[in-house]
Each structure stands twice: as structure tokens, then as C-alpha cells.
Structure 1
Amino acid sequence: MKLPEPDATEVERDIAIHIFTASAALVGVCLTVISIVGRITVGTKIHRLEDDLLAVDAMVFLVSCLLSYGALRVRTKRRMHRLETAADIVFIIGLCGLVLACGLIVWTVV
């Protein structure tokens, strides 16, 4: 017995839901790492590039979260596709920034 293939709109909506939840979680991850890095450098007056990068990255994930939320709320397929694509691109940029910040933290703490 073959299961019915999902509609393209359903697949895009599913992707938007995943981007929405992952982006919201990663905003929290960025804020948590900022506070942990702040604890590590307590007592020093070193301005850390990692803090700034993670703060910007949290905002990037917030934009991705808002775009995917917009994709879930619109009624037309064309607009939903555009918003979902934009959310996807912004999410990937945020992931790259997070990896860069993690690399900076590892190589400057050691």
C-alpha cells in the first residue's frame, strides 16, 4: 500500500515550522553562550569579538524566526514561498555566524 505524496505547500509549511522552532531555540543558545563567555572573562577588561558576533547572530536568528512565522501566516503560495526561502537563507547565514563564533571562542580560550 503506497502512502499519498505530500503536497508541495505542506512540505514548505513543514520546513517553515522547523526553521521557526530552530531559530527560536538558537536565539536562546546565543544568549546563553554570551553569558557563559562573560563569566569566563569576568575581571578582565578585554572586549571580546565573540560577544558581539553572538549578539548579531542572535538578531539574525530572530529575523529568520520572524520570516518563517510570516511564511506560516500568509495565505498565498507565492508569498509563502518567498518568505520561506528568505527565512532559509537567513537561517544558514546565522548558522555560519554561530560556527565562526564557536571557533573564535575555542581558539581564544585555549
Structure 2
Amino acid sequence: MHKDLMEISNDIHKFIILEMTLKTLERDRKHITVLKMHHALDAWYDLKINQVFKELKAARDYLYKKGCKVEKKKSDEFFTEYYILFRGVEETRNYANLALRNWVSEEMKRLLGMEYRTPADGV
């Protein structure tokens, strides 16, 4: 693995999790209309979707400035494959869907203001 790519590995992870969190928020928002407090929740979802979108854009811009592009290649019921192009070096990373779901859950805890883990905390 390229030394500089290792240095931005956490940033790549953050980008992937933010992207999935945004999709999760957008999907879940469609299901709140049956709740009595859906107006308040809808406003909260608007705020958090905008917040995550800005964070995702900042992460994407940072990776772009470093010469890195991340794309989701394929997914099955167990793994999701990402293609990473970093300064001409190609790499493929496989992530377990269960692990991705757990990290998105941690990101949701962060958005809710709860105690959460980060990759720096160790697994």
C-alpha cells in the first residue's frame, strides 16, 4: 500500500461512512410521516441531512485535493467493494456490510449528540 494512501485511510473511511449516513437519513426520512411528531422530526432530518451533506462535501474536496477518488464498485449481501484511485495508484477495498452498518450507527449517535466511537478509538 502506498505510504501517502495509508495516511489518508481514515479520511477515506470517513467519506464512505458519511456517504452511507446521508443515504440512510434520506431513506429513513420517508418513513416518519406516520408518526405524530413527524413535523418536528422532519425539521430535524432537514438539519442533519444538510449537516452531513456539508461534511461529505468537505471530505470529498479534501480527498480530491490529496489526489484521491473513491467509488463504490459492487455490493452483495455480505460485502461492499470500493475502488480507490490515489495519484495513479489503484486499490480495491472490501468492507463487510455489517461493519459499515455499525459505523453508520456510530455516526447517527454522533448526530443525535450521544456518546459514540470513532475509528481512532480502536475497534
Q: TM-score, normalised by structure 1?
A: 0.45
| Higher helix proportion (structure 1 or 2) | 1
Larger Rg: 1
Tell which has more relative contact order, 1 or 2 (C-alpha 8 A, sep 6+). Answer: 1
Q: TM-score, normalised by structure 2?
A: 0.42
